[in-house]
Structure 1
Amino acid sequence: MGSVKLQARLLAVFLLLLGGGSIAYQLLVQNVPLSQDEKDPVWVVDSQVSFVAKANKPVKVRMFVPPLGAGYTTLNESFISNNYGVNVNVDKGNRQVTWSSRRAEGNQYLYYRLMLTPRYADVPEKDPGPQFRPAPTLDGPEKLAADALLEPIRQHSADVETFISETIKRVNELENDNVQLLLGSDVSPENRAKVIDLLLAVAHIPAEPVHTLRLAESQGQQPELWLRSFNGKEWLYFNPLNGQQGLPDDRLVWWSGPGPLLNIEGGKSADVSFSVHENEMSALQLAQSLRLKDVSSFIDFSLYELPLPAQQLYRILVMIPVGVLLVLFIRSLIGMETLGTFTPVLIALAFRETQVVWGGLLFTSITAIGLSVRSYLEHLKLQLLPRLSVVLTFVVIAMALISLLGYKLGIGSGLSVALFPMVILTMVIERTSIVWEERGGTQSLKVALGTLVAAIFCHLLMVWQPLVYFVFTFPGVLLCLAAIMVLMGHYRGYRLTELLRFRAMVDGDKH
């Protein structure tokens, strides 16, 4: 016996670990939303290119656009223009769009829109960069200033990371004479980045500028300049103004390299403006839209991949074990008697169409009619099979009459009685009458009432939408339910009704 209990417990633990592991995988790896009300941010980035076209000249506009999959999932990318050809190519690791037109006159406007979300985005594997570059040739005061700045930088640094940080710190000391000489009269962030890059080049450390956009509600935002360098294992990002290391999570890399954002031929007075807006989308709708775009999401490996009619069916079927577990608790822990384990669950399924109030009334009335017919047939000494056949016939007649009455009274729920399982009601009537004969009318009514109450609670639990979503989305929870059922299979303790019944004996012994 001990070996059997041990096997049951090991089986329960195995099922629990398997189900819990499945849920954890969906949550942590596939990023499945825990609730159907969970929402994800969707960023909409708009950039407007405006310029004045030169008369009678072809126009060609080139602009860098973000690389796809750079830590975000692209939902939509649009290039909006009037009478312009659009072409996107890759140039030195950057994506670049080219708008071209044979003729254009006056003010021109081109638009680029990008919709993206951090959900389901894979961290891209960045190509390794160079770890050495030749030093540029410096002469005269520039060489002396660079050497004077690099000497304390080498003393206070231990590796590439600290060397770059120390270089940024020194260049931003604008009162330093050597820094002023290298910067000249231009202290803009772009020129500081150039001086930092110059000093790093003298030290044979490669670096390149990176232009990023901050994903935050804004109008008229301009790309922010960062520097990055490859240390042999990963890219290191630095803010050239304050030395901050590590690219923040809300930064989108737009392009890298020293080239300008926009190049235009056949136009003048060019300008680019950015606006960023944040929207919200249901995480479930987001996954479904990604599935339609052939973008990997959790729907690729779940019940959501089934056709919609099959999904609706399985939303009902996966809740049956939940109802069965509830009946198991009601019978084994509370001690309420029902007509079997599955009968309350099947009646609860019928309540999906009739609703609880009408379903309870229909259950009570049809069962009462059936019991009356069955009692009279018992008086006629009919055998079991003919008796069940007659009861089933009268159940159908009663259902038809109630449906007709409901239609005449304008009660739509009465029509749903036809969906009540006739065979289930017939068996309920038969089993209730048997209990009546064996244990009396009071016990029969008690069991029938217990079945109805259990069915009502099962229905309320099985149609609770947050639970339906959770079980349907995380089917591994069914294995956890099976583990609980296995553990309850060896429960031999007192039920709640037994504790209440024997309480008087305990109180009597105390007195």
Structure 2
Amino acid sequence: MRSLTLHLKVLVILLVSLGILITAYQIFILGIPMTEDETDDLWNIDAKVEFQASPREPVKLQMFVPPLAQDYVSLNESFISNNYGVSINRADGNRKVTWSARRASGKQTLYYRLVLTKRYSGEQTKAKGPIFRDSIPVEGAEKIAAEALLAPIRQHSADVETFISETIKRVNNVNDDNVKLLLGGDASTPNKAKVIELLLSIAHVPMERVHTIRLAADIQQNPELWLRSFNGENWLYFNPESGEQGLPVDRLVWWTGDDSLVTLEGGKQAQVSFSLNNSEMNAIRLAKLTDENTDADFLEYTLYGLPLQTQQTFMIMVMIPIGVLVILILRNLGGLQTLGTFTPVLIALAFRKMQLGYGIVFFTIITALGLSLRSYLEHLKLQMLPRLSVVLTFVVVLIAAISLFSHKLGLERGLSVALFPMVILTMTIERLTITWEERGGGHAFKV
């Protein structure tokens, strides 16, 4: 007996631990939302490219598009053009789209459209980057000015992160004579980035230019320049104007490097304008969509690999054993009296769509009228099967009548009364009647 009890305890602990581990993995590793009420942003980004094509010349236009390597995943990507060939290439961590045409004339308009959201999969690729670079050649007065700036920077820094921050702050002090010399009268952000790169290269600290788009709806914007450096483990992002460290969460990396966003052959006056808008989508549906765009192949062998409609069916089915567990706890530990084990669970499932308040009202109405009919049938001395058939037919007609009147009165919740399990309601009415006759009305109301 003792070994049987120990065996049961070990089995319970193993099953409970397994359930907790699976749930924790989905929530904290895969990032799957816990409730269907959660929503997440869905971003629609349009990049409109306009240029003037040269007559009698082939046109080739190249534009960087987001690599979407880490934090975001693409749900849909479109390249909209008229009579242009389209190809996509990857190089140095960037993605570039190429539109080409043999002949084009006049004003041309091309569109790049991207729908994206944050990545749900917890699997992140390990960051890689250079940790050393050669110095940029510099001579004469520029070399003296650079060394003069680097001396206090080394004194006030302790690691790569603080070294870069201190460098950016020094370069943005435009009143410093050494800074003025290196800037050459051009205090623009791109030129400051060049000076910062020069100083960092002398210290053999690698640096890359990062061009980002802000995820904000209904505002005109241009790519914003940031700087980044690899510290051996992660990429460190810096604002070249303030030295602020850390890329804001609303920034999307569009491309890295020194090249321009657009390069054009066979045309002129190329301009790119961005427009963004966002919408919300059910987070569970969004998690499914993002999983379809990730490399987590094992998810195809879970319920998430099933069609969405089938998943919704299983969402209801898995509620049944959970409801039975709750009923068992309430009956065995709380002493609560119920009308069987499965009947309360199936009725509660109908409350999911109707909500608790409306569900109790409609359930009470149907049960009360059903009990009245059952009491009347008792006087007719019908056998059990004919009696159940009459009650079932009455329940169906009653549900249809309630749905009809609810629709006419504009009560949309009343339409959900059709979700009540008709057979279960019929058996509930029959068992309540028997309970009433055997133990009285008070006990029937308790169960």
Residue equivalent to 1:187: 187
Assess, with a 3 A threshold, how the Cα gap between structure 1 residues 122 and 316 changes in structure 2: closer, same or farther.
Answer: closer
The answer on whether the counterparts of 2:183 and 2:191 sit within 8 Å (CA) in structure 1 is yes
- The corresponding residue for 1:491 is none
Count of aligned pairs: 429
> Residue 49 of structure 1 aligns with which residue?
49
- Tell me which residue corresponds to 1:111: 111
Matched residue, 2:423? 420
Contact residue 210 and residue 227 of structure 1 kept, 8 A: yes
DSSP-derived class of the 1:319 partner:
helix
Aligned to 1:131: 131
1:393 aligns with 2:386: yes
Distance 1:128 1:25, change over 3 A: closer
Partner of residue 177, structure 1: 177
Moved more, 115-124 or 191-200: 115-124
**AA at the equivalent of 1:249:** V
**Pair 1:319–1:192, CA change in 2 (3 A):** same
After TM superposition, give the deviation of residue 112 of structure 1 in Å. 0.9
Q: For 1:56-67, what aligned pairs fall within 5 Å after superposition?
A: 56-67=56-67
Cα-to-partner distance string for 1:223-243 (whole Å, 9 max, x where unaligned): 111112222222222211111
- The match for 2:26 is 26
Residues 1:360 and 2:367 are matched in the alignment: yes
- Please say which of residues 411-420 and 103-112 is displaced more in the overlay: 411-420
Alignment of 1:18-417 (within 5 A): 18-122=18-122, 124-125=124-125, 127-290=127-290, 301-302=302-303, 305=306, 308=309, 311-312=312-313, 315=316, 318-319=319-320, 321-322=322-323, 325-326=326-327, 329=330, 333=334, 336=337, 340-342=340-342, 356-357=363-364, 359-361=366-368, 363-369=370-376, 371-372=378-379, 390-397=383-390, 399=392
Alignment deviations for residues 133-160 of structure 1 (CA, whole Å, 9 cap, x no partner):
2223322211211121122222222322
* One-letter amino acid of the counterpart of residue 364, structure 1: L
After superposition, the CA RMSD in angstroms is: 4.1
Q: Secondary structure at the match of 1:27?
A: helix
Alpha-carbon separation, structure 2, partners of 1:133 and 1:13? 55
* SS, match of residue 55 in structure 1: coil
AA paired with 1:359?
A: I
**What's the CA shift for 1:194?**
0.4
- Structure 1 residues 403, 104: closer, same or farther in 2, change over 3 A? closer
* Greater mean alpha carbon deviation, residues 157-166 or residues 208-217: 157-166
In 2, Cα distance between the equivalents of 1:286 and 1:68? Answer: 17
Q: Note if contact 2:210-2:255 (Cα within 8 Å) is conserved in structure 1.
A: yes
Write the mapping of 1:10-21 to structure 2, written as runs, cut at 5 A. Answer: 17-21=17-21
Equivalent AA in structure 2 for residue 224 of structure 1: E
* Paired amino acid for 2:257: G
Report deviation, 1:69.
3.3
Once the two structures are superposed, what CA deviation does each residue of 1:85-127 show, in whole Å capped at 9, x if it has no partner? 1110012221000011111111111111111111415564355
- State the alpha-carbon separation in 1 of the partners of residues 146 and 286 from structure 2: 53
Closer, same or farther in 2 for the Cα pair 1:140/1:54, shift >3 Å?
Answer: same
Tell me the distance in 1 between the aligned counterparts of 2:445 and 2:384: 20
Give the distance between the partners of 2:315 and 2:153, measured in 1 at CA. 66
- Unpaired runs of 5+ residues, structure 1, are 378-389, 437-442, 455-511
Contact 2:222 2:273 in 1 (8 A): yes
User: Closer, same or farther in 2 for the Cα pair 1:181/1:282, shift >3 Å?
Assistant: same
- Larger mean CA deviation between 17-26 and 152-161 belongs to 17-26
The one-character-per-residue Cα deviations of 1:367-398 (angstroms, maximum 9, x if unpaired) are 4256446xx69xxxxxxxxxxxx322343256
CA distance in 2, matches of 1:124, 1:340: 49
Q: Note closer, same or farther for the CA distance 1:218–1:174 as it changes in structure 2 (3 Å cut).
A: farther
Confirm or deny: 8 A CA contact 2:132 2:204 kept in the other structure: yes
Distance apart, 1:311 and its partner CA: 4.5
Shift of residue 161, structure 1, vs aligned partner: 2.1
Matches of 1:325 and 1:79, distance apart in 2: 53
CA distance in 2, matches of 1:392, 1:321: 32
Instruction: Report the secondary structure of 2:259's partner residue.
Output: coil
The amino acid of 2:386's aligned partner reads T
Contact 1:327-1:344 within 8 A present in 2 as well: no
8 Å contact from structure 1 (residues 212, 224) kept in 2: yes
Give the Cα separation in 1 of the matches to 2:368 and 2:43. 52
Please tell me the residue identity of whatever aligns with 1:360.
T
Q: CA deviation at 1:40?
A: 0.4
Query: Which residue identity is paired with 1:71?
Result: D
Distance 1:87 1:70 in 2: 23
Letter in 2 for 1:148: A
Q: Look up the equivalent residue of 1:131 and give its one-letter code.
A: I
Quote the offset at 1:426 in angstroms. 9.8
Q: CA deviation at 1:403?
A: 6.6
Q: In 1, distance between residues paired with 2:225 and 2:273?
A: 16
Question: What's the CA shift for 1:180?
Answer: 0.8
Q: Percent identity?
A: 44
Q: How far 1:14 sits from its partner (Å)?
A: 6.0
5+ unaligned residues in a row in structure 2: which ranges? 406-414
Which secondary structure state, in structure 2, belongs to the residue aligned with residue 51 of structure 1?
strand
Give the Cα–Cα distance (whole angstroms) in 1 for the partners of residues 339 and 162 of structure 2: 76
Shift of 1:292: 6.2
Deviation, structure 1 residue 248: 1.7
Are 1:69 and 1:121, in contact at CA under 8 Å, matched by a contact in 2? no
Checking the alignment, whether the CA contact within 8 Å between 2:432 and 2:444 is kept in structure 1 is no
Look up the equivalent residue of 2:319 and give its one-letter code. Answer: V
Partner SS, residue 220 of structure 2: strand
Q: Secondary structure at the match of 2:32?
A: coil
* TM-score normalised according to structure 2 size: 0.80
Matched with 1:479 is none
Provide the rounded CA distance (Å) in 2 between the counterparts of 1:350 and 1:23. 25
